[in-house]
Structure 1
Amino acid sequence: MAKLILMRHGDYVWHNKNVFTGWFDVPLSSTGIIEALKTGAKTSEIKFDIVVTSMQIRAIEAAMIALTQNKSKKMPVLISENKKIDDWIISNSKSMEESIIPVFRNWHLNEQCELPTRDKTVVSGEYGIEYLNKWCYCYDQPLENVECMRDTAKRVIPFFRKKIIPQLEKDKNVLISAHNNSLRLIVMVIENHTEKEIYDLEIPADSPFIYEMANGKIMKK
């Protein structure tokens, strides 16, 4: 029975600066490292076959740190950015079986593109707190030339369906390390949530969501 684990990266160094981070690449803080270790401890018995992260360092770090707690004898290896998941797996299936957990990075899982380095107080002053909240918590309310959740869904959901589900159908255990908004969209697909319901969903940084696939259906464990 294949397992899917959704892991949200934890606290990062800009978290307390009251600025939007978006696609800016900032690392985990010491708190975020501890949160990743806790996730690793909770999933230490799972023998992962494939790991997929966003392109952002905080998600990559979280996955790699979590894997230090895994009891499998396989070693996680960060795969070159230009390698396609399917092609690499076909060419390296023996190594995967014997010694390697490939860690793939893909931009489709990146955080919702926000207003990078913009102070949240300044932005709310420019647009008004009501309009800013609509953008932050409404599925299809864009702000300036940045993504709303609907835009993020256009890349996250097809990627999940085309690249992740086929691996689960092949009985592979998959770990996804990404961000609250990109992971919310995956949960929306799996659990049939509405667009409004996902805004009430928070994936704790130290408590991954664990699912199992059986008879073609993905169910929360």
Structure 2
Amino acid sequence: MTNSELLSSAWAQEWMKSCAAAAREHREELIELDRAIGDSDHGENVDRGFRAVVDKVAAEISSDDSTVADVLKLTAKTLMSTVGGASGPLLGTAFLRAAKAAGTGDIDASTTAALIEAALEGIMTRGKATEGEKTMVDAWAPAARAARDAADAAQSPAEVLRAASDAAAAGADATIPMVATKGRASYLGERSAGHKDPGAASSALFLAAAADAADTTGKGA
């Protein structure tokens, strides 16, 4: 992709398909991560949620006249209604804030970074969480910083998303030695150390899905 290219509704639709594929592929892994420090239902919840998103998008979104924001708004609504536990409200809020940041048309690199920053803000506000507490924030926060740095360096939207994806993966790995101080994992105290946070792990997968989708669906400006 060149720096002049934009991301369209086609990218957002492909992102949701990629999220669903990642949730399905890593379902058991996420269940096992959550079994160690949570309720063991995270993998099942996100798998069900993004399968529902793909169905809703296919039924209600037109590729011809829809926007990125349209796809993300529908995603938010669907996740809030189908994903159990804390993840539904958190991811739903993330995608809703991202939809607002996306504006009314195709998105450039700076708006792509703003979308991720808005998602992070939504998660932090809804979950009353900050970085370092062993939650999905620990994937989204470094992703937002990396995305903004890449956008400021005049990289393409796809490169912005790849930088965010790489940072999210590193952030998720960094939760392994952390002691949880937020959410159900915090009940375990010191015993929560040594386990990757499942919300951070799935968030890294979903941001990787965004980057993968951008590699094939960039739209020339």
TM-score between both structures, scaled by the size of structure 2:
0.35
Q: Which has the higher helix share?
A: 2
Relative contact order higher in (CA < 8 Å, ≥ 6 apart): 1
